[in-house]
A and B are shown apart, each in its own frame.
Chain A
């Protein structure tokens, strides 16, 4: 699914940095990708890979001192990374919906769910209170909450974890956004609820024709939901391509190691493949390829020159195994 030209979201050479007393830390480095309408792009990586920061930078919710150091974010062809706070706020509610990991922190405990949803609808759409309430009921029933008329008058604490996450998703859909950014939407949920939310996200991306950026550490969730995947490591994209190719024939040694280290049902008693070491800290990202100290296939150029994303198979991988450095 090549989205060039028709992309809804374009991220170009994005760099997120944190100025500190001991110099500037680069948390997201030269990240580029597109998402087309109706497409789910999965962004995976381990903690500290920069996946959530990438999402936050796109919505304009980076916490200072974090800032966009370079690059552009375009929504429907227009830059949104350099907007003033007020115009960005408009876009954020109207055209971008956000779903975060912990549904409790996304909801105000002091207001009924109905009030939070109708207010959000009215903030973005020119509708009356009654129409807003009707829309709210329709939204709750769309995300699978039984008896929505009654549930509208309940407070967040009266919902279970799974139901609360559905409310958050309904909130994100209020203004019929074109882009949905979901950051670990299933991580705080139990397995049975998790699979319900995955099914819901799949349906929404299809029916609303929205572009979805699904940020998660869970390859299983990606396999079930995403069309394409970007694998992040130490602030950079290590590999990006169609989900099937990434899962069945990963081309970056990090992706390959990651896939092998996931425990699977039925493999009782087999030793897991492991990647030794840990992801580098932001203040100690190695020269060249950030993965080279842990890489079983490293060779001459890896500690010297940073690999760009190189075409290989259906995907692109930032690894010198798939193309020679220019200087060589």
Chain B
């Protein structure tokens, strides 16, 4: 609820408060009994707090296994959080048995997936794929209304109304992603969760889809949560960027600030690892090591084994997210102590 005196717009559309999610990755019961092995929990996301503001694009970046897709799935309610709570426009999630989100909330959010080949039912016509959310939410039942709405949606994403009668296999990857977007938009949601929406596409097609997503955002006032491992794509799309490492948020900043003044050593490493397309001959700092095993994360700061600035404190004490003067949030002792070279 917005406090009195504060405009309603200041209220975040989505709020995550200290959200965590564990997955049970134990071996089967019999093996555990025979080998006296304990249960094993994977902390996919831990102590994650962030807000998605209305009409912005919040991007989450990180390498595979950092928990960014788990955050996306938690927000849309594909599974419940193990800890913490999630609110949509001030409404908290309900019990898992009741489906996590009420119907009224559910139709206001939709998801676009990475693989346009796996996310469309090959036996359905495009018409039925795009109309499904409308039917599922009972928003429209008359066939003529449905057809008109699907035609409108297909045109909006750059396809022809006649494409409604075709099957997914008749389309290329980029066109399929347009169909996914049309389906996501059909219930007129305000919030779209996009999990690597262009990672499976070729560059020239990726540009088409990113441009389409931006145009739709402006026209319909959409709010995006944009998950990607590609920093250049994120830089193109994001208003604000969160960087994740081993299940935790390590830096959260305005996109322009993050790319011009990255603070966390991990963010700096990611930016440095982007291939140099300008061929400026920039000296590349060799990237050290690999992401640690999430089942056995390092103590203290999870990044310390790879961090050039790590000291004794980093090995023992886990850094908390702290605000810098320009309101960038960073979880790093070196940043807090001013040990980061400019």
Chain A contacts to B: CB under 8 angstroms: 46-47, 160-163, 190-196, 198-199, 217-221, 223-224, 243-244, 247-248, 257-258, 261-276, 278-279
Contacts and interface: CB of A to CB of B under 8 A. Distances in A.
A262 B202 contact: no
Given A258-B204, A262-B203, A266-B259, A196 B286 contact: yes
B141 interface: no
B238 to A, nearest CB: 7
B37 interface: no
Interface string B82-124: 0000000000000000000000000000000000000000000
B284 A262 contact: no
Interface stretch (B8-16, B181-189, B229-237, B334-342): B229-237
Given A191-B270, A223-B279, A264 B232 contact: yes
A191 B233 CA distance: 13
B33 interface: no
Interface in B176-215: 202-208, 210-211, 214
A252 to B, nearest CB: 13
B255 A223 contact: no
Contacts of B175: 278
Contact of B207 (A190, A193, A219, A273): A273
Given A192-B273, A243-B279, A268-B256, 15 more contacts: A191-B270, A191-B274, A192-B291, A195-B273, A217-B202, A217-B203, A219-B203, A220-B274, A220-B275, A220-B276, A223-B278, A265-B231, A265-B274, A272-B210, A278-B205
B207 A191 contact: no
Interface of B: 63-64, 172-175, 202-208, 210-211, 214, 229-233, 235-236, 238, 255-256, 259-260, 269-279, 284, 286-287, 290-291
Contact of B204 (A196, A218, A243, A275): A275
A194 B290 CA distance: 11
Contacts of B204: 46, 257-258, 261, 274-275
B63 to A, nearest CB: 4
Which residue of A219, A247, A248, A261 has the most chain B CB atoms within 10 A of its CB atom? A261
Contacts of A270: 236
Contacts, number: 124
A95 to B, nearest CB: 30
Contacts of B277: 219-220, 223, 247, 262, 264
B314 to A, nearest CB: 19
B85 to A, nearest CB: 31
A262 B287 CA distance: 24
A272 B271 contact: no
A274 B211 contact: yes
A191 B229 contact: yes
22 contacts: A46-B205, A161-B64, A190-B63, A191-B231, A191-B270, A192-B269, A195-B272, A223-B276, A223-B278, A247-B277, A258-B204, A261-B204, A261-B206, A262-B232, A263-B236, A264-B236, A265-B259, A267-B235, A274-B207, A274-B211, A278-B174, A278-B175
Contacts of A221: 275
B279 A248 contact: yes
Contacts of A276: 208
Contacts of B236: 263-264, 267-270, 272
B203 A258 contact: yes
Contacts of A263: 206-207, 210, 230, 232-233, 235-236
